[in-house]
Amino acid sequence: MKTPSPQRFLGKVALVTGAASGIGKAAAQRLAGEGAKVTLADLDQPEVACVAESIRADGGQVLALRLDVRSEPDWQAAIDRIVSEWGRLDLCVNNAGIAFAKPIMELDLADWRRVMSTNLDSVFLGTQQVMRAMKAGGGGCIINIASAAGLKPLAGNAAYGTSKAAIRFFTRVAALEGGPHRIRVNSISPGAVATPMWESTDLWPRQIAATGGRGAALQALVTDHGFAEPEEVAAAVLFLASDEARHATGVDFPMDDGFSIT
């Protein structure tokens, strides 16, 4: 018999970007399971539709939207739709992002800008639009997904690491500005997490060759390489979004097995 989940977010309205897979998918499913009305935002419409269907099948309330997180008009339209549909917005998880690695001397300006627009501009646009809605609604909570790569410099990681380090700083400024409006803003800096983001890296072909399939390759990242499960990061998202963390704002929560302090 399945143990009932606590209903910490009953009556709350949440938005999760990058919700088609990985951390975003896990966070959306957990929020819905604890009573939140969840908007799933992603460019991958077939996959996000599958996530939405799984939430509905479990009795959750969900809305799926196509959102290019780099686009200001897309953000405005998404917030308008959420407020029109559910009347408010209480929680936002800015999770969408891309992985990229290349030495500085080989890095094209176009690649640099692509990483910054997807990983950093998206957090600025999302936080700005969401804060406006939350201010009108009397407060809320924003969680930005950064990375341990923004805590500790690594060769070949200038673009990605810089984008994630900037998220941490931006989060602290947003927390100061959101405070008077009862808006809490925090970030999480995971280490390596077994998500489809790794499919764009050099590691992935070796994983597929060694394991024989996508699902097995992701699981091997956990069992063989010590990666975290997306659900573990989702658990931290839920804590920071809950009233149990009502005094936490401007905080970055590293989840990297001590990587950033060694």
Q: What is the pLDDT of residues 25-48, one digit of tens each?
A: 999 999 999 999 999 999 999 999
Integer-rounded Cα radius of gyration of the chain: 18
Predicted confidence band at 259 (pLDDT cuts at 50, 70, 90)? confident
pLDDT confidence of residue 109: 98
**1 band by pLDDT with thresholds 50, 70 and 90:** very low
- Between 106 and 201, the more confident residue is 106
End-to-end, the C-alpha distance of the chain in Å comes to 43
- Residue 95 confidence (pLDDT) above 50: yes
pLDDT of residue 182: 98
72-93 pLDDT, tens digit per residue, is 999 999 999 999 999 999 999 9
Q: How far is CA 135 from its chain centroid?
A: 21
Look up 253 and say whether it is catalytic.
no
192 or 178, which is more confident: 178
Q: In this structure, are residues 16 and 82 in contact, taking their beta carbons and an 8 Å threshold?
A: no
- Any idea which architecture 13-193+229-254 has in CATH? 3-Layer(aba) Sandwich (3.40)
Q: Give the per-residue pLDDT at 248.
A: 98
Rounded distance between C-alpha atoms, residue 221 and residue 118, angstroms:
25
Query: Per the residue annotation, which of 160, 170, 198, 253 is the catalytic one?
Result: 160
For residue 89, report the phi and psi dihedrals to the nearest 5 degrees: -145, 120
**pLDDT single digits (tens) 188-245:** 999 887 777 656 666 656 666 676 666 675 675 566 556 789 999 999 999 999 999 9
Residue 216: count other Cβ atoms within 10 Å of its Cβ: 13
pLDDT tens sequence across 126-172: 999 999 999 999 999 999 999 999 999 999 999 999 999 999 999 99
Q: Which DSSP string do the residues of the chain spell out, in sequence order?
A: -PPPPP-TTTT-EEEEESTTSHHHHHHHHHHHHTT-EEEEEES-HHHHHHHHHHHHHTT-EEEEEE--TT-HHHHHHHHHHHHHHHS---EEEE---------GGG--HHHHHHHHIIIIIHHHHHHHHHHHHHHHHT-EEEEEE--GGGTS--TT-HHHHHHHHHHHHHHHHHHHHHGGGTEEEEEEEE-SB-SGGGGGSTHHHHHHHHHSSHHHHHHHHHHHH-PBPHHHHHHHHHHHHSGGGTT--S-EEEESTTGGG-
Instruction: With 0.85 as the threshold, say if the pTM is over it.
Output: yes
What pLDDT does 210 receive?
72
What stretch(es) of the chain map to CATH 3.40.50.720?
Answer: 13-193+229-254
Q: Judge whether 183 and 142 are in contact, CB under 8 Å.
A: yes
Is the pLDDT at 14 greater than 50? The verdict is yes
